[in-house]
Structure 1
């Protein structure tokens, strides 16, 4: 049995197509009714004065979608979740099966490039050579449907332990504190010996801080 669009995907597609229960001529002069149904999709054939119910419109839509569902299932060679499948059914329903089969979108997807689909969808926003805002909105919405649930974190992912800054470790603080205390004692004295030892302590403290910074950088890498 051919895979069918999910209920969530169907509701989205119905929203994008819009419902007209009374037959009308579209921008191209083609008689249309329901959720974008035309004579090209088969029976019933829309005509002047034709009226249907919302339930009948959905029944016609489900019948119309069968060939597009089959087109996606038969031409996509990679696995699709329900939202991805629904987005492609909506796209092919809107642009036509032949356009879908010849599209760069399909080629990239079949090569495993799932991430390319939303941007490829956005290339199909023109009608009669002109950019149409309605198509821009639909392509964007189809892209959002495609990406729904794609970035859910696995429950098995364990948060990375928080790294401790080496400069604030207990042993570093005690070492520097001891040097600072010694430096204060020597600084209150006088004579070349005291000043020489004070200089050694200053150099030692600077080395400890330098070591801490270098270690922190290496841990970040």
Structure 2
């Protein structure tokens, strides 16, 4: 059985695609309905005056996604957690299977370069030779989905969590930020020990912020 996109990823994809229950012509003049469904994806063929329900739209989307889910499963040679799989399904759904299969993103990923994916996604933000803010936003969101540490395990795959830098772990950075936010009152106490500990707290926050911002900037390059 082909692996399926997880509920979290599906909800994200639906948000990015947007729902239209009445058929319309897209920017290329193609009749479209539901969550970006066109006749090229299979039945039903959208036409002028066609109207469907939200439930119909989701049913059509799930059917349309099977070919993209299969493309990701059959062409990625490394183990993916559910959010990583969902991000690639969304990407393939948007750019097309052939573009996905021939992308540098896929080549780098299959060599084990997981960190290259967010930046490679950001190279796919043009349509008709023009950079579109909508595509920039979608690629950025797919990159964030890719980098999310949490996942919803599928019934067939139990993926491994990716290693998180110790400084970025919630149990480390959370208390540091909490304490650092109250340093004004803390530092007013007497004694060199309090000031030394306060300095350590500030350094900890600075290091954590550096790694977090660096990761986000890499995803948007």
Larger Rg: 1
Give per-residue Cα distances to partners, 1:61-85, cap 9 Å, x unaligned. 0000000000000000000000000
1:130-173: CA deviation from partner (whole Å, max 9, x where unpaired) = 0000000000000000000055468xx9x9xxxxxxxx9xxxxx
Residue 109 of structure 1 deviates from its aligned partner by 0.1
SS state of the match for residue 137, structure 2? helix
Q: Residue in 2 aligned with 1:36?
A: 36
* Counterpart-to-counterpart distance in 1, 2:118 and 2:165: 21
Secondary structure of 1:37's counterpart equals: coil
TM-fit CA distance, 1:46: 0.1
User: In the alignment, what sits opposite 2:21?
Assistant: 21
Q: Which residue of 1 aligns with 2:7?
A: 7
| Stretches of structure 2 lacking an aligned partner (at least 5 in a row) | 150-161, 173-191, 193-221
Quick one: distance in 2 between partners of 1:36 and 1:23? 10
Partner of 2:131: 131
Alignment of 1:45 onto 2:10: no
Structure 2: distance between partners of 1:44 and 1:130: 31
**Whole-Å separation in 1 of the counterparts to 2:51 and 2:105:** 37
Bigger RCO (CA 8 Å, 6+ sep): 2
Structure 1 residue ranges without an equivalent (≥5)? 160-167, 169-221
RMSD between aligned alpha carbons?
1.8
Name the structure 2 match of 1:83.
83
Number of residue equivalences: 158
Between the aligned partners of 2:27 and 2:130, the Cα distance in structure 1 is 14
Cross-structure match for 1:60: 60
Indicate yes or no: 2:77 matched with 1:70.
Answer: no
DSSP-derived class of the 2:77 partner: coil
SS of the equivalent of 1:77 reads: coil
Report the TM-score when normalising by structure 2.
Answer: 0.69
Give me the whole-angstrom Cα distance separating, in 2, the residues matched to 1:131 and 1:153: 34
- Work out the CA distance in 2 between the residues paired with 1:129 and 1:45: 28
Q: How does 1:110-189 map to 2 (within 5 A)?
A: 110-149=110-149, 150=162, 152=164
Deviation at 1:96, TM superposition (A): 0.1
What secondary structure, in the 3-state scheme, does the structure 2 residue paired with 1:2 have?
coil
TM-score (norm 1): 0.69
Q: d(CA) in 2 for partners of 1:144 and 1:56?
A: 29
The one-character-per-residue Cα deviations of 1:34-82 (angstroms, maximum 9, x if unpaired) are: 0000000000000000000000000000000000000000000000000
C-alpha distance in 1 between matches for 2:142 and 2:106: 15
Cα distance per residue 1:65-112 (max 9 Å; x no partner) = 000000000000000000000000000000000000000000000000
